[in-house]
Structure 1
Amino acid sequence: MSRLFSVREIARQAGVSDATVDRVLHGRGGVRHSTAAQVRQAIKDLEAQGAQLALSGRRFMIDVVVDAPERFQREVRKALETELPLLAPAVFRARFQLHERWNAAACVAELDRILVRGSQGVILKAPDVPEISAAVDRLAQAGIPVVTLVTDLPASRRTAYVGMDNRAAGATAAYLISQWLGGSPGSVAVTVSNDFFRGEEEREMGFRGAMRSMAVARRVEYLPGSDGLDATVRDLLGTLLDTDPSLSAVYSIGGGNKGIVAAFHAAGRAPAVFIGHDLYPDNIELLRAGRLNAVLHHDFRYDVRKCCRIIMQAHGALAGHDGTEVSKIDVVTRFNIPVGY
C-alpha cells in the first residue's frame, strides 16, 4: 500500500477519519471490509491523480456520485483522470462514489455525507426522484454546486445539466430505424434501465414521438427495468420475442446490449436494425462484428471537462457560463469508429 500520501490526505480522499485510515494502513482490526476497500480505492485515486497534485493553483476537491452499470463508471473515471491535469492552473482532486443498482436512500445518505464533510462541487448521475432532488437542494443551500451528468434533475437547484439533448437522441434513433426498415413490417423494442432516470425517459419520449410522425403504424414495445445489465435485459427481451414474432428492431437506451444479442440468438433470430448508446468496449465489439448497426455517442471527456468548468465558474474562479450548450451527438457505425476506441 502506497505511503506517498499522508494519513490526512488519504482520509480526506476517502471521506473517513484519520484513525480509520491509520488502522487500515497498519492492518489493525475494527474496520468494516467496505470501509477498508474505500480507503484502498482512495489511495489508488490519489496515485492516478498524482500529476495533478504536483501542480500549483487554486484547488478544488470534487465528488463524483454515480448510479450506473460498471461500464459507465469506468468511462467516467477514465475521462476525469485524463482531463484533470489539463485544467491547470486549477488543481482538481476527485472522490468517487460509483454504484450499480443503487437505491435512492443510499444516494441521499452519500449526498448528505458530502454536505457534512464539505466539497467544492458534485458531479451527479442519479434518478429523478424527490428525495434526491431535496438532497441536491441542501447542497446548493450550503454553497456546493451540483452538476447533473447525462440525466437531469430539473426540479432541483442543481447548477447545470451536462450531456446530450436526450429527446433529440431518441428522435435520431427513430429516424435511423425508420430509414433502415423502410416499408418493411415489424415492431420495435425500446429498452431502458430505470424509469426514474430523466435522460432515459426523454430519449424514449423523443423516440416515440418521432416514430409516430414517420411510421405511425409501427408498434413500439417498451421494456423498462433492465438496470442496463446483460442478464436482465436478455430475460426481458427473451419473453417479448416469445410473444412477438414481428419484432424486427431494437433501440437500446439503457444498455446491456450483449444480453440483447443473446436473446435474439436464443430465439433463432436477429434484429434487422439495432441502435445503442455510447462507445463502451462491448458496443465497439458488437459494432465491428456487425451486430449493432449504429451507436449514438457523446464525448465523456468533453462532458466532464465542462462539469469542472461549471464548478469553477460557480466559485468565481473562471469567467463565463458553460451550462447551456448540450453535447454533440455522433452517429457511429463500424465504418467510422473514432481512433483510440
Structure 2
Amino acid sequence: MSEVSEQLFRPQLSDLAARAGVSLATVDRVINRRKGVKERTRRHVLSVARDIGLLSAEDLAAFDATRPPNIVFLLPSGSNPYLRLLGEMVRARVAQNSEGAPELRCFFIEGFDPTALADALRRNARWADGIAFFGLDHPDVREAVSDVARAGTQLVSIVSDLGHPGVSAYVGMENRGVGRSAGYLLGRFVTHKTGAVALVAGSRHYRAHSEREAGFLSIQEELFPHLRVVGMREGHDDSGQNYRHTVELLEQHPDLVGIYNVGGSSGGIARALSEHQRHDIVFIGHGLTPDTRRALLQGTLDVVFNTDPAALIDRAIAAIRSPEAAVPPIKLDIVLRENLPPSEG
C-alpha cells in the first residue's frame, strides 16, 4: 500500500468515537489527557484506540504514566504589591513550562467579591486538578468549595485559610500567632505609658486578617492594658484607602502611638505618617515589597512580617501533588531596617 493510501485509511478520532460509542469531545479529552472522563470510560477508549491502530503499545504505556497535574492559582486583584509580586512569580513559572512540572495557570479576580471567587473556582475546576486560592470566608465561596471538592479537584488555601473540609491543605502562616507577635513588638517598641493603637485590615472576610486581629488584641489585653485600641478599619488592601484611614486616625486620635496593618499596601499608611511627620508612631506591616522596603529605610515603618512568595508557591504546588502529606505553617520572616535583605531588582 502506498504512503498516500496509508494516510487515507489511517484511523481518525471520529472513527475512534464511533467504535467506542462515545462522543468526539470525550475522545478528545482522553487523547489529550484532560479531566472530566470516568476511569472506566478512559480505559475503554484507549483499548479501542489500540484495536483500530490509532495508538501503539508504547503510546498506551505513556497514557498510563502519571500526568503532571494541572494547577490554577487564583489571586486577588488590586493594588496590593505583595500579591502582584506573588502573581508575577507564578506567571514566571508558567512561562518556564519545564518537562515533568505541573501545568500552571494564574488568574487575578476581584479580591473582595465572593461571587467572583465562587464562579472562578467552579470555572477553573473544569480544567484544573488542583486550585490554590485565597480563602474568602463567605457562604457563596463555601458552597463552591463543596461542589468543586466533591467533583474531585484538590483545593489548597494560601495565606488565608477557609476552615472548610473541602480544602485539603492550608499553606501560610499561623495567623493568630502572627498577630500576637505584632502586638508584642508594638507594645515593647512604644515608649509612652499611655496612648492609642490602631489596626488596619483588608477585610475581616479574610480569616487571616481576623485571626491576626484576634491575636493582636489578646496580647494587648494581657501585657499592654495601658494602650488603648481604637478599633480596626478596613482598607481593602488599597494604598489610597489606607492613606485616608491613617489621616483620619491622626486627626481623631492625637495620642496615637502605634499602627498595625494586618493586610497589605502599607505604602499608603507610610505616606500619611511621613507627610504628617509622625515618625514617632510605631508601625508594623506585612509583605516585603518596594514600598515597604522604602518605608523601612526611611524609618516610617518599623517591622515587616514577610512570607517568601517563592516558598509559598512551592509549598502550594507540593500540597496539591501530595494531598496526603502534612503541611506545617510556613516560615515567618521578621524584617527590620537593620536586617533588610538585598534588593533583587
TM over 0.5: yes
| CA distance, structure 1, for counterparts of residue 280 and residue 143 of structure 2 | 42
How far off its partner does 1:255 sit? 2.4
1:294 counterpart (300, 303, 308): 303
Given the alignment of the two structures, is residue 80 of structure 1 paired with residue 90 of structure 2, yes or no?
yes
Inter-CA distance 280–312: structure 2 relative to 1 (3 Å threshold): same
| Contact 2:75 2:111 (C-alpha < 8 Å) held by counterparts | no
| Contact 1:84 1:91 (C-alpha < 8 Å) held by counterparts | no
1:321 counterpart (299, 320, 325): 325
Q: Which amino acid aligns with 2:90?
A: L
2:293 corresponds to: 284
The alignment partner of 1:184 has SS state of coil
The alignment partner of 1:216 has SS state of coil
1:331 corresponds to: 334
1:110 corresponds to: 120
Structure exhibiting the larger radius of gyration computed from Cα positions: 2
Given the alignment of the two structures, is residue 311 of structure 1 paired with residue 320 of structure 2, yes or no?
yes
| Contact 1:164 1:329 (C-alpha < 8 Å) held by counterparts | yes
| CA distance, structure 2, for counterparts of residue 145 and residue 336 of structure 1 | 38
1:33 corresponds to: none
| CA distance, structure 2, for counterparts of residue 87 and residue 213 of structure 1 | 51
2:106 corresponds to: 96
The alignment partner of 1:59 has SS state of coil
**RMSD of aligned C-alpha atoms?**
2.5
| CA distance, structure 2, for counterparts of residue 97 and residue 196 of structure 1 | 20
How far off its partner does 1:292 sit? 0.9
| Contact 1:63 1:96 (C-alpha < 8 Å) held by counterparts | yes
How far off its partner does 1:129 sit? 0.8
How far off its partner does 1:312 sit? 0.8
How far off its partner does 1:69 sit? 3.4
2:132 corresponds to: 123
Give unpaired runs (5+ residues) of structure 1. Answer: 1-7, 13-55, 315-319
Q: Which amino acid aligns with 1:332?
A: V
Inter-CA distance 244–159: structure 2 relative to 1 (3 Å threshold): same
Q: Which amino acid aligns with 2:198?
A: A
How far off its partner does 1:311 sit? 0.9
How far off its partner does 1:278 sit? 1.3
Identity of aligned residues (%): 26
1:144 counterpart (153, 177, 189): 153
TM-score of the superposition, structure 1-length normalised? 0.76
Give unpaired runs (5+ residues) of structure 2. Answer: 1-27, 33-64
Inter-CA distance 305–101: structure 2 relative to 1 (3 Å threshold): closer
1:39 corresponds to: none
Q: Which amino acid aligns with 1:331?
A: I
1:133 corresponds to: 142
How far off its partner does 1:114 sit? 1.8
How far off its partner does 1:238 sit? 1.4
How far off its partner does 1:291 sit? 1.5
